[in-house]
């Protein structure tokens, strides 16, 4: 009998891509999402791609009563926990909302999972926990750094909370996945990243310039100590990232206890590398202007992803060209994201 996974935040960018990979690997799942940063349309589209309906609950994970009811109705084997608020700038102006949503949400979720006898959890963490990294490429042994914003603090603190929970009760299997910079979209062009308002992150900004929604890209600084002066990041195709979660489930099934993995490609590309590759692969010009550095940004951040390969057999398959191709394929087919939904 196939295993059932609770996917919190499953209507979002990474969650929706992960549903497809879970399906491909033979898992069943249920989705809980309050749609605070997503649309139901993403789930309709995933359902179309995988050819089956998706059990979905429009619920805030902080609602313990509703979570209790859902888990009573659907016993689950493991949870992949994507639900959270993720906009760095907004977290600075709305710290209480971010701490409440991300911290309390995780507390309620973990309590309900434990109550229902499910002690298997995969948590969406971030390379942001390394702060300004002490070493490049970054291994999981690299000490955690100073997070300069409430969003990053929630990731770092939740890692500590989950580590303590697992230490106190070794029946828990908890995998902390530290994502680097997910970009791109499912190759079908049906699902992708759909930010509200002005994008904070680089790739959605580039695709909105490409589609004519914004006149030009602002590049935050060209005086960093990198090969061309712009920031260097470890961009990873969202489908590769999604597959990393399926690999992490196999670690849970083997009884991994607490495990931490970087999910990145191990390759660093600069902002200008990404812009130039996007233009070349898609034959679309991206006008840009150099602006001041963005506060809180670091020069260089890329992973050593070999632990995930050695222990999970997981490795990113897609390169930067495919990331650019698929990001554009999604945006040009859906210039207004999921807004055109006719449901």
Catalytic residues: 151
Q: Whose CB is nearest to ligand NAD?
A: 12
State in angstroms the smallest separation of the CB of 141 from ligand NAD. 20
Contact 101, 62 (CB under 8 A): yes
Residue 50: partners with Cβ closer than 8 Å, 6 or more residues away: 19, 20, 23, 24
Partner whose binding site includes residue 99, from ligand UD1, ligand NAD, none (CB under 5 to 8 Å by kind): none
d(CA 85, CA 154): 10
Based on CB atoms, which residue is closest to ligand NAD, 9 or 266?
9
DSSP string, 4-67: EEEEETTTSHHHHHHHHHHHHTT-EEEEE---TT--HHHHHHHHHHHTS---EE---TT-HHHH
Partner whose binding site includes residue 234, from ligand UD1, ligand NAD, none (CB under 5 to 8 Å by kind): none
> Any contact of residue 294 with ligand UD1 (CB under 6 A)?
yes
- Going residue by residue from 215 to 244, which x/- string records binding to ligand UD1, judged by CB under 6 A? --xxxx----------x-x-----------
Chain Cα centroid distance, residue 5: 17
Cis omega before residue 137 (within 30°)? yes
Task: Provide the token pair at 190.
Answer: 């049906």
Query: Which of the ranges 165-173, 195-203, 208-216, 330-338 carries the binding residues for ligand UD1, by CB under 6 A?
Result: 195-203
d(CA 130, CA 300): 12
Residues counted in the chain: 343
Residue from 5, 31, 34, 133 binding ligand NAD (CB under 6 A)? 34
Which residues within the stretch 159-218 sit at the binding site for ligand NAD (CB under 6 A)?
179, 182
Reduced to 3 states, what is the DSSP secondary structure of residue 114?
A: helix
> Any contact of residue 296 with ligand UD1 (CB under 6 A)?
yes
Based on CB atoms, which residue is closest to ligand UD1, 220 or 309?
220
State in angstroms the smallest separation of the CB of 328 from ligand NAD. 18
Which residues within the stretch 120-149 sit at the binding site for ligand NAD (CB under 6 A)?
124, 126
Partner whose binding site includes residue 297, from ligand UD1, ligand NAD, none (CB under 5 to 8 Å by kind): ligand UD1
């Amino acid at each position: 009998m196939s295993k059932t996974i609770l996917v919190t935040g499953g209507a979002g960018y990474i969650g929706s891509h992960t549903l497809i990979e879970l399906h491909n690997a033979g898992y069943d799942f249920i989705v809980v999402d309050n749609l605070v940063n997503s649309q139901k349309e993403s789930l309709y589209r995933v359902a179309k791609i995988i050819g089956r309906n998706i059990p979905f609950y429009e619920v805030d994970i902080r609602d313990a009563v509703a979570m209790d009811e859902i888990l009573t109705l659907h016993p689950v084997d493991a949870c992949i926990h994507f639900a959270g608020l993720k906009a760095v700038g907004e977290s600075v102006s709305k710290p209480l909302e971010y701490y409440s949503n991300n911290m309390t949400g995780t507390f309620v979720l973990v309590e309900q999972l434990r109550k229902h006898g499910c002690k298997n959890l995969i948590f969406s963490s971030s390379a942001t926990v390394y702060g300004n990294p002490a070493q490049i490429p970054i291994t999981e042994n690299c000490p955690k750094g100073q997070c300069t914003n409430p969003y990053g603090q929630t990731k770092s603190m939740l890692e500590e909370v989950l580590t303590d929970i697992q230490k106190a009760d070794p029946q828990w299997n908890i995998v902390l996945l530290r994502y680097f910079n997910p970009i791109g979209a499912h190759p079908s062009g049906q699902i992708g990243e759909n930010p509200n308002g002005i994008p904070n992150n680089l790739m959605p900004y580039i695709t909105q310039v490409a589609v004519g929604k914004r006149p030009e890209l602002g590049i935050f600084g060209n005086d960093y100590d990198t090969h061309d002066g712009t920031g260097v990041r470890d961009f990873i195709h969202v489908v590769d990232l999604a597959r990393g979660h399926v690999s992490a489930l196999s670690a849970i099934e083997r009884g991994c206890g607490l495990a931490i993995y970087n999910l990145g490609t191990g390759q660093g590309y600069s902002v200008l590398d990404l812009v130039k590759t996007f233009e070349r692969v898609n034959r679309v010009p991206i006008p840009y202007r150099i602006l001041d550095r963005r506060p809180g940004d670091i020069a260089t951040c890329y992973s050593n992803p070999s632990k995930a390969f050695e222990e999970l057999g997981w490795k990113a398959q897609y390169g930067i060209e495919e990331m650019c191709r698929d990001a554009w394929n999604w945006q040009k087919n859906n210039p207004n994201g999921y807004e055109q939904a006719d449901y």
